[in-house]
Chains A and B, each alone.
Chain A
Amino acid sequence: MRLKLAFTPENMDKPILSDIILKTKVPINILVAKIGTATWGEIVIDVKAEEEKLKSVITLLKKAHVEVSEITHILEIDYDKCVACGACVAPCPVKAIKQKPDWTIEFDEEKCIRCHICVDACPTHAIKFLG
């Protein structure tokens, strides 16, 4: 499951994620980490764990006053703008974008690491990230 974590100046200086990893022994993959001039922080993580463990990770995060929201829908392709060229396909470092046999573009949410390379690579501005 992908989670967006929002940090505040109150909890930004604490090694919250490390503590949780050590406590729960759940492997957590950090996909994006942003810090905005000491007033806010945002981390996107991917947690691959069973229901129980996942729940405990979320509980611990909330206990540390981290705002947690699930990311279900990451990216949107405007198929009216898309010309089905392929400029976004091979540049994707994790192969999350594919072309079907009829060359139309298909996006795999599971694989996406939100690097935004495809957004820049699209010549018709047809790709948008949500949230």
Chain B
Amino acid sequence: MPEGVGRETLRTYEEINAKIKKGDAVVMTADEFVDYTKTNGIKKAARDVDVVTTGTFGIMCSSGAFLNFGHTEPPIRMNQIWLNDVPAYGGIAAVDTYIGAAAMSEIKGFDYGGGHVIEELVSGRDIELRAESYGTDCYPRKFVETTVNINEMNQAVLLNPRNAYQRYDAATNGTDQIIYTYMGTLLPKFGNISYSGSGQLSPIYKDRGFETLGTGTRIFLGGGIGYIIGEGTQHNPQSQLGTLMVRGDLKQMKPQYLRGASVYRYGTSLYLGLGVPIPIINMRVAKTASLPDSQIFTELLDYGAPSRSRPVLAKVSYAELKSGTVRVKGKETPSSPMSSFKQAMEIAETLKSWIMKGKFTLSKPVELLPRKRTIRPLEIRKHEPKVRDIMTAKVVTARTTDDIGKVSNTLVKHSIDHMPITDKKRRVIGIVTSWDITKAVAQKKTLREVMTRRVVTVRQGESIDIVARRLLQHNISGAPVVDENNKLIGIVTTDDMTKLLRRNID
């Protein structure tokens, strides 16, 4: 850890705030500060500029709001709650709830969710409230159906466990089918790239040493004033994946900075605008605040892999991503953001104008955010059947040169439907089914002509339900099991899965 983290060697918070109150503070957006440093050098930039403002406007699923409705007559202890048919949390008595951005309407599903409820609340629209209870001596009422409005609520507080990811993985899709992810629509065969995060405007990247960000940092949140209340969940500063937990009064916020989102075939969420002021308290902070897009990197991952550790295809800078095309596997691939740079720039500008007008002063955090964290995955301890548990290890195979008659005899003899075609080193180069062989016999074709060359394969450590999903996706009834060198080690079919199900039922 560098010595004196958070030391105010260039200027103190008090000095900055005194200048803000006099209207003398020099404030720049992060975009402006990057350019200013390029022209004038980091020393002059650090000396001249007091505060750098940042901004981001993206889909932040881990968001939601605490609401307090006030008591009915007679009172109710709400334990099942819906807002515009979106279920809200009923585990906090009695008329408190938490509406999560990712909760989906029981009627409209993917098209409307908690994020939309929050947007409508902030817009001042009436929201349908429905709540149920079992009734107690102190809370006799069992049912409520009415409308609520943010202006009539006691509290409406946005409280988000994980916001403002420092950077986010860029996504592409190496499979041969279009996929719909939380990173948006991904065309097959690396057809496009989707990315998120605001690069050189990113709040956390501009203080990547965590010297000014901490509990108590006053920020721009949804068009109002909010605070960082601690590290966000999954905060992973060592990998430049820091996050923030934030809180703000929903009643002060503006709908243009809180927008409901529906991500096709993924779910609902919330677009949120967030901006953090970075006081230039020392040279290290000045240096990180001056980082340009070309020096801020993220990883391009293949979201076609249904795994938490997706293959990393390349390290890419935000400058490359923002240019609109990135070279992937030797091909120029179009890239576009999921988060809005237009809104991010507007947020940095708005925060700058608030500070310049003396409407917003800086707060010194009472505790800085942690600079180190271990991120753990969730291990599944309950036994989950894997491919290796049901696969057939002794596989009957064929070579491309084999005679069709011989192959059809082998299929009949072993009463099997699938036969992988391998090369000399037992690597899978094709597959035929009994149907292919029937066709070959009928049309007098060779094995080479009827075999499928693009073989869908599985690994022995994969879960059965993931494999079942893949077979269904490709509309096939079996797949060879291969090792990392594509060498055949088994075969798994829908018959094997049916047997497993039977076994479980028996």
Contact = CB atoms under 8 A, between A and B. Distances in A.
A120 B185 contact: yes
A85 B340 CA distance: 4
B317 interface: no
Interface stretch (B29-37, B39-47, B331-339): B331-339
A121 B193 CA distance: 13
B343 interface: yes
Given A91-B187, A117-B185, A125 B111 contact: yes
**Binding site secondary structure of chain B:** strand
Interface residues of B, number: 34
B336 A93 contact: no
Given A84-B340, A103-B340, A125-B111, A90 B194 contact: yes
- 8 shortest A-B CB distances, which residue pairs? A89-B336, A90-B336, A90-B192, A86-B336, A123-B261, A84-B342, A103-B342, A90-B334
A98 B3 CA distance: 47
B57 A83 contact: yes
Nearest to A91: B185
A102 to B, nearest CB: 6
Contacts of B269: 123
A104 B337 CA distance: 12
B361 interface: no
A121 B264 CA distance: 6
A19 B74 CA distance: 77
17 contacts: A83-B271, A85-B337, A86-B336, A87-B336, A87-B338, A90-B336, A91-B186, A91-B192, A91-B194, A99-B324, A102-B342, A121-B184, A121-B185, A121-B264, A123-B59, A123-B338, A125-B111
B259 A83 contact: yes
A67 to B, nearest CB: 32
A interface residue count range (under 10 / 10 to 19 / 20 to 34 / 35 or more): 20 to 34
B341 interface: yes
B342 A91 contact: no
Contacts of B343: 83-84
B44 to A, nearest CB: 28
A24 interface: no
A129 B263 CA distance: 18
B185 A87 contact: yes
Nearest to A93: B187
A124 interface: yes
**Which of A86, A117, A121, A125 has the most chain B CB atoms closer than 10 A to its own CB?**
A86
B215 interface: no
Interface in B255-274: 259-265, 269, 271
A121 B192 CA distance: 13
